[in-house]
């Protein structure tokens, strides 16, 4: 299926590079600023954007993203506001894939069928539901499939060869490899471990492999981009938003854009060019 996600990964592969996936919490620190940040991410080189659904108990997330959730919730962000923000973004950008990432409770409260229909209408491309294991995905997959939305699955260092086929069953879009056992932003995995993991995963699936958790600097992003199909950066960007919000800065999108531009340059330069490889 050639949709926005497949098209973007194909374009990056044709350029001989990994994709840069950026994560921010929608509505952080408020909806108007968050909408401007979304545009800045793309203008600065993000290939795919993950928008976090603000949630009171983001159990897989470290301190940085937990604080991003709190800032968003305190500003009054609801799921319907996140969908409206995406719909507004689509008026000027119909190419950049946007993935909603979060937890199942807000979707369950909204109603899975209504969520899938409204997400598609808004212009979303898929979702990552951290606390929805494959064994319980039937509560959401039929609705997502009916509206052409990806359910992107997570694999971790503890996902062994017996478990991996279950994780991949019904997965689409890409496979998100959580490089460290723990919460977001806490630790960084060794580049050799990530290279080995990507090689192992690619033996079991043709889906692109995106690697995230613990990626904070351009050097770390480049090391992963040498092996993976995509690099996911979240906590470092959310930290930048948090520091600027605390300082009551009025240039938060520009600060985020500067960081993402450095990350994008590192990712784009991580592999040798055809001329260098020859």
Which 3 state secondary structure label does DSSP give 73?
helix
Cα separation, 228 vs 211, whole angstroms = 7
Helices (H), the chain: 4-14, 31-43, 63-74, 79-90, 104-110, 112-122, 141-146, 164-168, 191-202, 218-225, 235-246, 252-268, 274-277
Q: Which residue, among 210, 251, 246, 242, has the nearest Cα to 227 in the 3D structure?
A: 210
Q: Judge contact between 83 and 119, C-beta under 8 A.
A: yes
Q: Which residues are catalytic?
A: 50, 61
Q: Is 185 left (phi over 0), alpha (psi -120 to 50) or beta?
A: left
Read off the tokens for 34. 């968050």
């Amino acid at each position: 299926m050639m949709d926005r996600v497949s098209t973007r990964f194909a374009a990056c592969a044709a350029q001989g590079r990994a994709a840069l996936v950026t994560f921010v919490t929608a509505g952080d620190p408020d909806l108007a600023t968050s909408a401007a940040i979304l545009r800045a991410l793309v203008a600065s080189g993000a290939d795919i954007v993950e928008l976090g659904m603000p949630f009171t108990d983001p159990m897989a997330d470290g301190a940085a993203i937990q604080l991003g959730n709190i800032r968003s919730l305190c500003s009054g962000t609801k799921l319907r506001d996140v969908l409206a923000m995406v719909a507004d973004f689509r008026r000027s950008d119909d190419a950049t894939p946007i993935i909603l990432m979060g937890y199942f409770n807000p979707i369950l409260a909204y109603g899975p069928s209504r969520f899938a229909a409204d997400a598609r209408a808004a212009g979303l491309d898929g979702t990552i539901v951290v606390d929805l294991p494959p064994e319980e995905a039937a509560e959401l997959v039929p609705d997502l499939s009916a509206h052409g939305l990806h359910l992107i699955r997570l694999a971790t260092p503890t996902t062994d060869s017996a478990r991996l086929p279950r994780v991949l069953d019904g997965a689409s879009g890409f496979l998100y490899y959580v490089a460290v056992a723990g919460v977001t932003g806490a630790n960084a995995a060794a580049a050799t471990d990530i290279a080995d993991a990507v090689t192992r995963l690619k033996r079991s699936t043709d889906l692109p492999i995106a690697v995230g958790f613990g990626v904070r600097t351009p050097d770390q992003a480049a090391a992963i981009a040498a092996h993976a199909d995509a690099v996911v950066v979240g906590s470092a960007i959310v930290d930048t938003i948090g520091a600027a919000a605390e300082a009551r800065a009025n240039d938060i999108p520009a600060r985020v854009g500067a960081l993402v531009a450095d990350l994008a340059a590192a990712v784009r330069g991580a592999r040798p060019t055809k001329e260098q490889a020859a």
